[in-house]
Amino acid sequence: MRSHWDQEKIKQANQSLSKAHPIEIIRWGNEVTERQRLTLACSFGYEDVALVGMVQQVDPSIPIFYLDTSLLFKEVEEVQQRLSDKYQIKFHRVTTLLTLNQQAKQYGEKLWASDPNLCCQLRKVEPLRQHLEPYEGWITGVRRQQSTTRSQTDVVEWDESFQLLKLNPLTYWTDDQVWAYIRQHDIPYNPLHDQGYPSIGCWPCTRKVKPGEDPRSGRWSGFNKTECGLHTSSSNPDEEVGT
């Protein structure tokens, strides 16, 4: 059974971990949860591949999963393969049973263009909710620097939406720190990052970003949407901060 972490316990954890290296934060998470009940969410963006490398140093048995929406860039598969080869790990594929054809029949063609919130709910949020059910905690690549909606992200949070512990080991790290770690450890990363895509989601909802633009402006371009709803801010549970 999952143990609930109250706000006082979360606050104490944040005080003790605020200056800790992300690896120490992952190690702490691994110690306070039962074996195999902490998991890393990997969307194969640069923060996530850095975390994959860190998790291998802490405990290679920590399960790593990714959400397969059936709408991922082919480069995602390639980086997944390269990471598997380097670390000998198997990524758990999490997906909806709703095929794209079924979705089109039920909700209309290209749901992402007419109702991206519903599309994300069906293809990401619900599969994630089911997948997280047996876990006590999950690790994410959310960082304060990524956007204003993420600027209050703590290292340790109680995830109200999915009711488990949430670790954001990179929250205080800058872009430069993440990239330095990737280069120092020769971690495979998505080549689209070198081609103007700082944030990469499903291909229908991701475009290149021009120099000077907000890094996340390439996601759901044309919609008043910047997040897909996987993450909810603990300081404001109504505020979505997604991957």
Q: Return the range that interacts with ligand SF4 (CB under 6 A); candidates 8-16, 74-82, 85-93, 119-127.
A: 119-127
- The CA-based angle 145-153-31, given to 5 degrees, is 120
- Strands (E) in the chain, as ranges, are 38-41, 64-67, 92-94, 137-139, 156-159, 164-167
- Strands (E) in 77-220, as ranges, are 92-94, 137-139, 156-159, 164-167
| Binding to ligand SF4, residues 47-86 (CB under 6 A) | 69, 71
CA 238 to chain centre: 19
Under rule CB under 6 A, residue 94 binds ligand SF4: no
| Binding to ligand SF4, residues 170-209 (CB under 6 A) | 201-202, 204-205
**AA identity, residue 2:** R
User: How many residues make contact with ligand SF4 (CB under 6 A)?
Assistant: 13
Under rule CB under 6 A, residue 124 binds ligand SF4: yes
Task: Check if the beta carbon of residue 53 is closer than 8 Å to that of residue 25.
Answer: no
Catalytic residue among 13, 228, 230, 241: 228
Under rule CB under 6 A, residue 116 binds ligand SF4: yes
Under rule CB under 6 A, residue 241 binds ligand SF4: no
Task: Check if the beta carbon of residue 240 is closer than 8 Å to that of residue 227.
Answer: yes
Chain positions contacting ligand SF4, by CB under 6 A: 69, 71, 112, 116, 119-120, 123-124, 201-202, 204-205, 228
Catalytic residue numbers read 228
Give binding residues for [4Fe-4S] cluster as ranges. 119-120, 202, 205
